Structure 1
Amino acid sequence: MHAFDVLGDPVRRRILELLADGEASSGEVTAAVQREFGITQSAVSQHLKVLRESGFATARIDGPRRIYAIEPGPMQEVDAWLDRFRMLWGPRLEALATEVARGKKRRGGVGRPPS
C-alpha cells in the first residue's frame, strides 16, 4: 500500500497523531478512536493492522497488551517527497508573515484597533 493511501484515511491519521505523543496500548488507541469516530473495536484493529503492515507502526507484546509505536521510516519518506514541494509554499508563507507584520505596525501593535 502506498504511503498516501495509508495516510489518506482520517482514522489512521488520528492513530498516528496519538502515537506521536509516545507508545500506547491497543486498548488506549481503541478507546480514543472509538470515542472520536464511533467505530467498532474490530474496525480500529483493522486500521492498526494496516499501519503495522505498511510499516508506519510497530507493535510489541507486553504481557496481555500490545503496545504500538510509530516507525519513523515511512514518515521520513513522506517528508522527503513533500520536500520537493516546500519551495512552492515557503516563499508564500514568508510573504504572508511579512504582510502580517506590516499590518501590526500600521495598527500600532498587537491587539490595538486601527485609529
Structure 2
Amino acid sequence: MEKRRDVFQAIADPTRRDILCLIADEPLNLNSIAENFDISRPAISQHIKVLDESGLVAIRKKGRQRFCYIRPQKIKEIDEWLEQFRQHWEDRFSQLDQVLTNLKDENNEK
C-alpha cells in the first residue's frame, strides 16, 4: 500500500519548496535537482520521496533516469485553501487604506 503524506507537511520544509520551484517550469532528473543544493543526494531523494508521497510531484523513468514532474492539481488545492486567507488580508489592507486616506484628508484640512 502506498503511503500518503499531507501536502502541507510536504511544503513545510524550505528545501522541498525550493525543489517545487525548480521543477515548476520543466521536469528535471534527480541529479539535476541535487546539483542545486548543498546537501547529499540521498537527502534530496528523501525530500523528493516526501513530495511524491504527498502527490505534489510525479516521478517518471526515461531510460535509466528518473524525472520529477510537478502535479499542478495538488498545487491548485493549496492555492484554493489559501484563498480564504488571501481574501481576509485583502479586506484588511483595504480597511487600512481607507484609514490612511482619512488621516491624510484630515491633515490636508488643517
TM over 0.5: yes
Which segment is superposed worse, 11-20 or 66-75? 66-75
Distance 2:93 2:15 in 1: 29
State the one-letter code of the partner of 1:68.
C
Residue number in structure 2 paired with 1:57: 57
RMSD, aligned CA: 1.6
Aligned position for 2:16: 12
SS in 2 for 1:39: coil
State the identity %: 37
Counting matched residue pairs gives 93
Q: What are the ranges of 5 or more consecutive residues in structure 2 without an aligned counterpart?
A: 101-110
Q: Is the 8 A contact 2:10 2:51 kept in 1?
A: yes
Cα distance between partner residues in 2 of 1:47 and 1:31 = 14
What is the rounded CA distance, in whole Å, between the counterparts of 2:15 and 2:40 in structure 1?
Answer: 12
TM-score, length-normalised on structure 1?
Answer: 0.73
The structure with higher relative contact order (CA 8 Å, sep 6+) is 2
Give TM-score scaled by structure 2 length.
0.76
Q: 1:3 aligns with which of 7, 25, 28?
A: 7
Give SS of 1:59's match: strand
5+ residue gaps, structure 1: 100-115
Are positions 1:30 and 2:34 aligned together? yes
Could you list the structure 1 runs, at least 4 aligned residues long, displaced by more than 3 angstroms after superposition: 91-96
